[in-house]
Amino acid sequence: MTRLRSILISNDDIPASGQVRSLTIQGDVNSKVLVQISSSNNTFYNFTTQSFTSSYTPNNNLSLTLDFSSAIINISFPAATGISYFIIVTPAPNSDTIVSDNLLITRLSTVANSTITLAAFTSTTAKYSTDPAFANITSTGSPFDRVKKILAIDKTITNATTDANSNGLFITKTNISSKDFFHQTTEDIVSNPAGDAVSNTSVIVADLTDLVVGMTLFYHKGTTAPTAGTIIKSIDKITKTITFNKAVAFEDTETMTFRAIGLSQINKALNCDIIFEKANAKSNQKNINITPVVREITTTVRVAPSNSTTINIAATQGIPGGSTATFNGFKVDNSSTNNVNAVTPDPDGSDTDGVITCDVNQTLTVGTKLTFRPVNSNHFLTTQSAIKINLIVQKFPAASKTINLNLDNFITPGAASW
**pLDDT tens digits, one per residue of 250-302:** 999 999 999 999 999 999 999 999 998 865 544 444 555 899 999 999 999 99
Residue at 417: amino acid letter: S
d(CA 277, CA 128) in angstroms, rounded, equals 28
Q: What pTM did the predictor assign? A: 0.82
Beta strands 380-382 and 255-261, pairing class: unpaired
What pairs with residue 200 in β-bridges? 248
Mark whether 13 and 97 lie in a shared domain: yes
Side chain identity, residue 74: N
What is the per-residue pLDDT for 103?
Answer: 65
User: Are 6 and 40 part of one and the same domain?
Assistant: yes
Predicted local confidence at residue 285, as pLDDT? 46
Task: Give the Cα separation of 191 and 241 in Å (integer).
Answer: 10
- 128, part of any domain: yes
Rounded CA gap, 250 and 202, in Å? 9
Q: Is 278 inside a domain boundary?
A: no
Query: Is residue 283 a part of any domain in this protein?
Result: no
Listed residues 228, 243, 273: the one ending a domain: 273
Helix or strand holding residue 270 (H, E):
helix 263-270
Q: Are residues 298 and 218 in the same domain?
A: no
**Do residue 104 and residue 17 come from a single domain?**
yes
Torsion angles phi and psi, residue 180, rounded to 5: -85, 0
- 84, 109, 134 — which closes off a domain? 109
Would you state the pLDDT for residue 143?
Answer: 86
The domain boundary residue, chosen from 57, 75, 109: 109
Same domain (yes/no): 331, 412: yes
Asked if 40 and 101 count as a contact pair (C-beta separation under 8 A), the reply is no
Q: Name the nearest CA neighbour of 382 among 417, 413, 338, 340.
A: 413
Going by the DSSP 8-state scheme, the letter that residue 159 receives in this structure is: B
What pLDDT does residue 99 have? Answer: 82
What span, in angstroms and rounded, lies between the C-alpha atoms of 242 and 246? 12
Separation of first and last alpha carbons in the chain: 91
3-state secondary structure of 163: helix
- The verdict on 125 and 190 lying in the same domain is no
In a domain, 280, yes or no: no
Exposure of 94 by Cβ count < 10 A (0-12 exposed, 13-18 middle, 19+ buried)? exposed
In a domain, 57, yes or no: yes
Domain count for the chain:
3
What confidence score (pLDDT) does residue 7 get?
A: 87
In this structure, the answer to whether residues 194 and 265 fall within a common structural domain is: yes
Q: Are residues 21 and 93 in the same domain?
A: yes
Name the residue range of residue 418's domain: 114-176+288-398+407-418
**pLDDT at position 110:** 87
Nearest-5° Cα angle at 192, 191 to 198? 140
Phi, psi of 29 (to 5 degrees): -60, 140
- Could you tell me the CA-to-CA distances from 89 to 7, 174, 363, 375 in Å, in that order? 8, 63, 96, 78
Query: Distance from CA of residue 1 to its chain's centroid?
Result: 60
**DSSP conformation letters of 300-342:** EEEE--SSEEEEEES--TT---TTSEEEE-TT---SS--BEEE
295 lies in a domain?
Answer: yes
Specify the DSSP class assigned to residue 29. T
Question: Can you give the pLDDT at residue 373?
Answer: 97
Nearest to 36 by CA among 81, 79, 92: 92
| Residue 23: alpha-carbon gap to chain centroid | 38
Q: What is the pLDDT of residue 109?
A: 87
Q: Is residue 150 part of a domain?
A: yes
Which 3-state string (H, E, C) describes 386-413?
Answer: EEEEEEEEEECCCCCEEEEEEHHHCEEE
Cα separation, 282 vs 271, whole angstroms: 33
pLDDT at 16: 84
DSSP 131: S
CATH label of the domain that carries residue 90? 2.60.40.10
Q: Which residues pair with 98 in a beta bridge?
A: 3
Q: Are residues 53 and 171 in the same domain?
A: no
3-state SS class at 86:
strand
> Does a structural domain hold residue 282?
no
Do residues 71 and 152 both lie within one domain?
Answer: no
Assess whether 201 and 295 both reside in one domain. Answer: no
By 3-state DSSP, what share of the chain in percent is helix, strand and coil, each rounded to 5?
Answer: 5, 50, 45
Same domain for 123 and 72: no
Spatial distance between the Cα atoms of 231 and 279, rounded to a whole number of angstroms: 32
Would you give the distance in Å from CA 308 to the centre of its chain? 51
Can you list the residues of the chain whose pLDDT is less than 50?
A: 281-285
CB atoms within 10 A of CB 418: 11
Cα–Cα dist 6/178, whole Å: 49
